[in-house]
Amino acid sequence: MKLWLASYPRSGNTFMRDVLFACYGIDSSTFHKETTYASEDNYDKFDIVKTHLLASEIEIQYQNLPSICLIRDGRDALVSMAHHKKDLVDTNSNFIENLEEVIVSANGSHFGGWSKNVKGWIEKADIIIRYEDLILDPIKEIEKIRRIFPLPEADISKLPTFESQKKGLSHYGSGEFHNITGDENTIFANKNFRKGKAGSWKDEMPNYYHDLFWNYHGKMMEKIGYQYDGSIAEIDSLSYQKIKNKFYFSEPSTPETKTVLIDSTKILGKTNDGVKRYVIELLRQLKDIQQWGDDSFHFHVYINGRIYDINEFEAFIDVVKKNNETYFYERILLGIRATIKWLLSENLYDKLAPYYRNSEWRKHLFVLKKNALILGEIVTRSVFHTKVLNKKKTDAPFDDYSLIHVTLPQHLSLFKYPNIPKVVTVHDISHKLFEEFHLANNVALSEEGLQAIKKNNIHVIAISKSTQQDVKKYYNIENSTIIAEAANSDLFKVNTSKHLFEATLQKYHLPLGKKYFLCLSTLEPRKNIVNTIRAFQKLNDTATCLVIVGKKGWQYDDIISSGKKTNNIFFTGYVRDEDLPILYSGAQAFCYISHYEGFGLPLLEAMSCRTPVICGNNSSQIELIDQNGLAVDSNNIDEITNAMTTMLNDEVREKYAAQAWKKSFEYTWYKTARQTVSCYQNIIIHNQIAAH
């Protein structure tokens, strides 16, 4: 055995094997773990072995063999899979049910699912061949194999066609290996080789199932060039040059590498707020770009005064800091807080805590924390330079960076290096527009950061057009770029399992068989949950519930007391990330009627789960949903109630659900990261020109 031919089923591997056999005289075998028919005992004696298994499932002794990955537009492959099951595997099965089953691939069924299978092999393979190219020019594509395997000369006169394969005249796919002969052989081959063309999914995949497919697999499709509209785009070189090389064998470039430091301390936060999710998802995509891109960029992350390579950042997510990793002053403060909480009743502690949060003490303690971070940073510079940069400490160690990306204006004071260009992500200016909804220290720190941006003419990444307009209007900052956020496409997908839905409702003590509206946010004033509760109470519908998901924030007593007046309002408290898509998917509508948002990430998460939304008619919310949901005056109780009534109509709900789902596909974290890197490039180039 010398070479793996790997593909997801129904991607054209049988045609490719027939071409290898007929034109090159190369016989091949198959390695699988199916129970319905046996593998050849001597499969490993063949030079080329086909497999549909995940790359990680290959036998250890064959893991390092060269491999070819044959890929096909996943929509064509899965439509063909659904037909294959109906026509040959289970003739009593239904095409649509088969299609949904193979799209979702629950619990890793169907060879891990299309995306996981393709991802594993395109990263491992030496050569990638696209099915759409193979059927246009089989010999040209197969000749690529010569780079890793000594092919004999081809006899083009023996090139098989799909017509000959459908008649059962080919070596593979005719039924011979399933002991099928005679007329049954022809029938089998005719069903096995269906159309042999690209894009047949357009005639056979209903709109809902096309969007379901894109919801589950759009991220991988775009990575390798397949587009929502059926076209094939060139693979992005900056992000995926190393994968692109496997398609086209383009000459590797040697660009000058630019190193960017990214402020990432926010990932240590205990609450999974929008800024934390922004930083985590951006880092994940930039890590992917660093691994598979054209080497134009290398990324380091700054976490609590220390610097790491971006490949290390995942270890810090949601990890509770150990005592020896916590600053001395922090341990003292945490100890004092724990003691006070132990001495006081929970009710009294909850009432006194807001006075502390809004006191001058918080400001003084932040200055202490900020100075400690700066001191820690100075202490660790020499260690970082010798262990990471492999050079001696210099008077200006950060001069090695082409750019510093500060992901929150409040952190800007930690990066006072005038000779290094910076970019700051501004998420919103709610501290200025709605000061009454914020703690006093957060208002002061946010304002300090925005004033520093203005004073030093630092470039801003605004996460929405609304935020860009706000920073221009209130701070006269025009040096900005809009780069939208996105929902985590691996997590936020529509749930199709009734069993999983019912189990999740039971887990959070929610009633079965009732429609419900869903709210999700930290329980604090700006999210306007009190008005949502009042509007729901006016609805006066005992067959419908209001489910409120989120941790306690501040000034939440009114929220909870308002909700407790109605039997069919449920507070779940914290909900695990894995359960959120299930609750989103089952909701009649998602109510996120905020007074103000910089972006409104939960809206997009709900839309990604095919859930229609009701939001505030203000700020970025109307920008995000466009005409694909209901926007209402956040202070108008009757208007909110009317929107709920509208969404209780299942036909109307279905219309908005379909529109919201499709709208959500416009936002991806890959697009966010790619636009962010382009922003880095522009700032660095501008700075270089200005320096000369």
Tens-digit pLDDT profile for residues 451-463? 999 999 999 999 9
Q: Does the pLDDT of residue 306 top 70, yes or no?
A: yes
Two structure tokens written together for 508: 């959070």
Q: What is the DSSP letter of 219?
A: H
Mode of pairing for the β-strands spanning 3-7 and 28-30: unpaired
* pLDDT of res. 395: 40
How many whole angstroms separate alpha carbon 603 and alpha carbon 624?
Answer: 8
Residue 299 has a pLDDT of 97
Give me the pLDDT at residue 691, please: 77
Q: Sign of torsion, CA 313 314 320 322?
A: negative
Q: What value does the mean pLDDT take over residues 282-297?
A: 96
3-state secondary structure of 609: coil
Report how far residue 53's alpha carbon sits from residue 7's, in angstroms, rounded to the nearest whole number.
8
pLDDT in tens, 198-238: 899 999 999 999 999 999 999 999 999 999 999 999 999 99
In this model, does residue 500 exceed pLDDT 60?
Answer: yes
* Least confident segment among 14-28, 408-422, 581-595: 408-422
Q: Across residues 485-499, what is the average pLDDT?
A: 96
Give the rounded distance of the alpha carbon of 249 from its chain centre: 29
Residue 365 has pLDDT above 70, yes or no: no
- Determine the pLDDT at residue 380: 43
Distance separating alpha carbons of residues 520 and 611, to the nearest angstrom: 13
403-406 and 422-426 strand pairing = parallel
Report pLDDT digits (tens) over 678-688: 999 999 999 88
DSSP 8-state code for residue 153: P
pLDDT of amino acid 323: 35
Does the pLDDT value for residue 382 go beyond 60?
no
Strands of the sheet containing 127-130, edge to edge, are: 28-30, 48-51, 3-7, 67-71, 127-130
Sign of the alpha-carbon torsion through 410, 413, 417, 418:
positive
Rg (the chain; Cα; Å): 29
Q: Which residue, 366, 379, 375, 376, is CA-closest to 410?
A: 366
- Note whether 50 and 13 are within 8 A (CB): yes
Q: How far apart are CA 442 and CA 448, in angstroms?
A: 10
Residue 417, Cβ density class (10 Å: 0-12 exposed, 13-18 middle, ≥19 buried): middle
Max mean pLDDT among 110-114, 418-422, 555-559 falls in 110-114
The residues near 346 (Cβ < 8 Å, ≥ 6 apart) are none
Q: 511-554, pLDDT tens digit by residue?
A: 999 999 999 876 566 678 889 999 999 998 889 999 999 875 44
Mean pLDDT taken over the chain: 86
Question: Phi-psi region for residue 108, left (φ > 0), alpha (ψ -120 to 50) or beta?
Answer: left
151-202 pLDDT tens trace: 999 999 999 876 766 555 566 765 555 555 554 555 444 544 556 688 999 9
* Residue 6 predicted with pLDDT over 70: yes
DSSP 646: H
Is residue 348 classed exposed, middle or buried when 0-12, 13-18 and 19+ CB atoms within 10 A define those classes?
Answer: exposed
d(CA 92, CA 90): 5
Question: Where is average pLDDT lowest: 99-113, 152-166, 258-272, 417-431?
Answer: 152-166
Mean pLDDT across 51-72: 94
CA distance 384 to 374: 15
691: number of Cβ within 10 Å: 8
Check residue 374 and give its pLDDT. 46
* DSSP summary character for residue 553: -
Phi and psi at 29, nearest 5°, equal -125, -175
pLDDT value, residue 393 = 40
Give the chain's end-to-end CA distance (angstroms, integer): 59
Taken in order 596, 669, 285, 250, the sign of the CA dihedral is negative
**Position 286, amino acid:** L
Please give the pLDDT value at position 484: 98
Res 387: pLDDT: 42
Predicted pLDDT of residue 255: 83
DSSP 358: T
| pLDDT score, position 59 | 87
Dist. CA 218–CA 548, nearest whole Å: 30
Please report which helix (H) or strand (E) contains residue 104, including its range.
helix 95-104
The answer to which of 152-161, 287-296, 434-443, 503-512 has the lowest mean pLDDT is 434-443
Q: What does the pLDDT look like over 321-364, one tens digit per residue? A: 433 334 444 445 555 666 665 666 556 665 566 555 555 555 55
∠ CA 277-397-269, rounded to 5° = 20
Interior angle at CA 204, CA 200 and CA 207, nearest 5: 115
